[in-house]
Amino acid sequence: MRWWDAAVLGTAGLLAVVLLALTDSPWRIATGLAGLALLVVAWIALGRRGPESPRATAFVVLVVLSSGIVVAAYPTLAIIQVIAYPIAWVYSATIRRAVVVNIAIALAIGVGFLITLGVGVDNLVQTLFTVVLSLGFSLAMGFWISRMSELGEERGRLLAELQGAQQQIAALNREAGAVAERERLARELHDTIAQDLTGLVMLAQRARREAAAPDATLAMIEEGARAALGETRALVVAGAALDPDGLGLDSALHRLAERFERETGVQVSCAVAPGLALSRDADVVVLRCAQEALGNARKHARATRITIAVEPAGDGGVRLRVSDDGIGFDPGVAAAGFGLSGMTERLALVGGTLGVTSAHGAGTVIVAELPASIPNPAVTG
């Protein structure tokens, strides 16, 4: 409104000065000042309420009337068009109504010209030329500005839709991240704490079968409980080192094999190729797969001997091979539980593969292969 105040009141003041400077005719001065006063009063009383006001139409009618009056007073005051035509466009609810108001202003100014100049042929030609030129320019500018406004509104709508889509994508990404984290924790719990607790249950059952639980069995129960506690703490701090002693994958696998052998009585041999340098994330995947393979053997294989081997694979990758001489199974039959499917998912997340070879009475061989570089280490846990 402040800019409109300056435009309307400034135009009215300028035209008053022009009128007083160019004529000393009392009736022209009185008529011109009356028309300008009508414009100012209409603006203050009605126009300042804005285009959305229910009195906007009345304001536009008074602008048309004042335009005709001031031009009838003196032809140079046709300068009023510089404010009348913009008011017609801004204060009209539709483009069609704006065009009608533009034509009305042009007619009012034309009548004003004829009143002050007369109806001679030359005056008619001059009036027609001036009115048509001004009206054409106003319509051209109005249509152009209206089109720009429509494009701006359309772009604003598209921007709002884009922002909404971005927010939806961000929400989906957060949800996907939460789901991935839950799946990761499920794999970690299954491959670590669940295996430790399974061992504790089997040791407890073994102790109950014995008349008096020997110290060795109780020591293994205590060791299993401590291991489960350690794994829990490692998960809470979001990834401690594989091996508390800092000796790497070789040490962690040997300790895992020794503990499994003590708890089950099954002979476990472990071999890690010398000089095999893996990232910590690859170490974690290999260790978790070995834990899961041993857990499956404990629950299902009835094996007397298990072999764990870690060796280089093609293209700088690594291969984990876990084989047993147990009763075997049919790999084509879907197995219940989370074991093999969990290993497959874990390996798939890092670009690895899992192969299972088994048959009834022929033992089982599990082969997990990892690429040289892990594409998304965060998912390995």
| Average of per-residue pLDDT across 172-176 | 79
Structure-token pair, residue 32: 């011109």
How far, in Å, are 10, 13, 139, 372 from residue 378 at the CA level?
A: 68, 73, 63, 16
| Average of per-residue pLDDT across 10-17 | 91
* Structure confidence at residue 217 (pLDDT): 66
pLDDT at 22 over 60: yes
Among 2-6, 65-69, 200-204, 316-320, the minimum mean pLDDT is found in 200-204
Looking at 113, 144, 159, which one is the last position of a domain? 159
- Residue-by-residue DSSP string for 138-193: HHHHHHHHHHHHHHHHHHHHHHHHHHHHHHHHHHHHHHHHHHHHHHHHHHHHHHTH
Looking at 141, 159, 177, which one is the last position of a domain? 159
* CATH code (residue 331): 3.30.565.10
pLDDT at 222 over 60: yes
Q: Which pLDDT tens digit goes with each residue over 94-126?
A: 888 889 989 999 999 888 888 888 877 887 887
| Average of per-residue pLDDT across 78-86 | 88
Is 120 within the bounds of a domain?
yes
Is 205 within the bounds of a domain?
no
Structure-token pair, residue 261: 């052998």
Of residues 225 and 349, more confidently modeled:
349
Among 31-35, 263-267, 353-357, the minimum mean pLDDT is found in 263-267
Residues 152 and 9 in one domain: yes
Query: 């924790």: which residue's tokens?
Result: 185
* Structure confidence at residue 184 (pLDDT): 66
pLDDT at 290 over 80: yes
Residues 6 and 137 in one domain: yes
Residues 155 and 47 in one domain: yes
Looking at 92, 126, 159, which one is the last position of a domain? 159
DSSP category for residue 351: T
On whether the CB atoms of residues 115 and 78 are closer than 8 A, the answer is: no
Question: Which residues, including other chains, have CB under 8 Å from residue 135's CB and lie 6 or more apart?
Answer: 102, 103, 105, 106
Q: What integer best gives the mean pLDDT of the chain?
A: 81
Is 206 within the bounds of a domain?
no
pLDDT at 322 over 90: yes
| Average of per-residue pLDDT across 330-346 | 74
Q: At what angle do helices 121-191 and 280-296 cross, to 10 degrees?
A: 50
Is 343 within the bounds of a domain?
yes
Is 7 within the bounds of a domain?
yes
Domain range for 43 is 2-159
* Structure confidence at residue 61 (pLDDT): 92
Is 96 within the bounds of a domain?
yes
Name the strands in the sheet holding 364-370, side by side, starting at the edge strand that comes first in the sequence: 267-272, 305-312, 318-324, 364-370, 353-358
Is 300 within the bounds of a domain?
yes
pLDDT at 370 over 70: yes
How far, in Å, are 42, 88, 91, 150, 218 from residue 5 at the CA level?
A: 12, 16, 15, 26, 94
Q: Checking phi first, is residue 238 left (phi over 0); if not, alpha (psi -120 to 50) or beta?
A: left
Residues 257 and 110 in one domain: no
pLDDT at 304 over 60: yes
* Structure confidence at residue 195 (pLDDT): 65
Is 200 within the bounds of a domain?
no
Of residues 239 and 348, more confidently modeled:
348
Residues 152 and 248 in one domain: no
* Structure confidence at residue 308 (pLDDT): 93
Q: Which pLDDT tens digit goes with each residue over 242-286?
A: 444 455 788 888 888 888 888 888 899 999 888 787 777 788 888
On whether the CB atoms of residues 39 and 12 are closer than 8 A, the answer is: yes
Domain count, the chain: 2
Integer Cα distance of 157 and 364 in angstroms:
62
